[in-house]
Chain A
């Protein structure tokens, strides 16, 4: 009896993302065996790199019991800054620094309002998102912005062996984040707030400062994701964001990081890969946009219910 329950507990500890990933891989293998090719899969993985980078920030915020819905607005703003032609005369480095600065600033505002003012994170980041989208639409006056500089395109299309450069970049960034969370005091703070904010507070963890820092890093990650996203499209897009934010929450929860559970990088990483595969499978099966929305919603709900049930049984 004990061995069975411990086996069950071990099975429950595996993030759902790994299970979903395996199921999707088998489905694809049965449906379209010729798709199981590293070059093709690499191209699909490249499409979710912006999502993957947003998730790296989102998992920090979610495990410190907050949430960030402003990634879409940041991506839109950075996208506009690069593709509107305002900065065409600038060299590459200052543009990148400016974009990262935008992400930092938005993350700091989010963090201060959530951490110091103790405003509701959902509402704050939702409102910031609305303000940013309105700002970009006002600046662009409803028209789609212009072209993206050629350097960004070139970087995006670069490949190491068969692996596209953005995917390499994403893996490297995830590795850095994982090592950082494992080794730093900040990582410990996030872990302890994730498991119990009250006891973390009484153990001397600077809860406010940690939440602010998590939001700042999330904002920075959104800006990095925006740079990759902007490089991926020849023309800037006006409408972008809502589905990315929802997917980033879905991938994080799927990866085993929910409110009140410590930050883990590789579970959500596989969660993002699940979404890449899911798009492939759904596209090959001819599922349209409404179907995709329904499936995404169901995945978030089922993953959340899975954790809800588990916390009840404990």
Chain B
């Protein structure tokens, strides 16, 4: 294979095929810039960042779980529950730790159910999703409430002339990079997802898996804090789409759902591509219902193209 070919189709890459989605994303950008007048405007680019930031946060957590052969369906309800807790009438230094702690407990429950009790990740996180969603509706039965002004300030406006969602995105990328590609823990994630012999090489498999689920929930809670600040209130249904969207973004970025293969940059590209598609359809005035259909179809296509050995879940 030629040198250029090897860059785009690396053999035996642990990072998965992220080059093709990158090319698609670039094509989308070029196409939208040509076909619509508003795409390259400053306001639209800022919107794009605000739309992508919570998805990026949730997807980084989702990817960490997928790397260890798991799947976290409860992230959406954790996002909803977080906005519910933040919109309670309490100062931010009470609600933010409370929300993070709750999320960590949810992640711990997921992890323990999967590792100690050998419940299939999908069943475990599906049932925990139901419980968390119930808790979210209990805390805030319908959209409303007010979020502490400090949190609102944290996501709106600018810092040193940089738009706040951009800062959130950069922070998420730095933290995600440190965890996935810059630490021993990250290497263990790949090893656990990659093969059954990981445990024999001295990796505490169960403990690392539980940590992956806890991290996923905490990233979802961070997305919840961002969203609560954006809408300045709580909403028990705001997170509904994030479970599916984050899985789509992770899969779009070349991460294998079977575990062991994936990358942070791939996930970022996947999130960017999803945000671009949504943004482009908005600019082209496509109905919201058609957008749902397109999103589902993309997920279906990406999944159907990922080769797997086993049949079923």
Chain A positions within 8 Å of B, measured between CB atoms, are 64-67, 113-115, 117-124, 126-131, 133-135, 137-138, 141-142, 197, 207-208, 211, 246, 249-250, 253, 259, 289-294, 296-301, 304-305, 308-309, 311-312
Contact = CB atoms under 8 A, between A and B. Distances in A.
B257 A305 contact: no
Nearest to B137: A290
Contact of A118 (B117, B127, B311): B311
Contacts of B308: 118-120
Contacts of B126: 246, 249, 300
B289 A137 contact: yes
A135 B295 CA distance: 12
Contacts of A296: 127, 130
Contacts of B136: 290
Highest count of chain B CB atoms <10 Å: which of A142, A250, A290, A296: A290
Contact of B292 (A133, A308, A309): A133
Contacts of B293: 130-131, 134-135, 138
9 contacts: A65-B312, A113-B300, A131-B296, A131-B297, A134-B291, A259-B313, A289-B134, A297-B131, A300-B123
A87 B299 CA distance: 32
B292 A65 contact: no
B47 interface: no
B307 to A, nearest CB: 7
Interface of B: 71, 113, 117-120, 122-124, 126-138, 141, 244, 247, 251, 257, 287, 289-293, 295-297, 299-300, 303-304, 306-313
| In the complex, the 7 A-B pairs of residues with the closest C-beta atoms, listed nearest first | A297-B130, A134-B292, A293-B134, A130-B296, A297-B131, A294-B134, A138-B289
Given A123-B251, A123-B303, A297-B134, 7 more contacts: A119-B308, A122-B313, A123-B257, A129-B296, A297-B128, A298-B127, A304-B120
A146 to B, nearest CB: 19
B311 A293 contact: no
Contact of A294 (B118, B131, B307, B309): B131
Contacts of A113: 300, 303-304
B289 A253 contact: no
A294 B137 CA distance: 10
B120 A293 contact: no
Contacts of A298: 127, 131
A64 B124 contact: no
Q: Which of B123, B124, B126, B307 has the most CB of A within 10 A?
A: B123
Contacts of A64: 312
Contacts of A259: 120, 312-313
Given A123-B247, A305-B119, A65 B313 contact: yes
B22 to A, nearest CB: 22
A250 B124 CA distance: 11
Contact of B122 (A67, A207, A290): A67
A298 to B, nearest CB: 6
A73 to B, nearest CB: 9
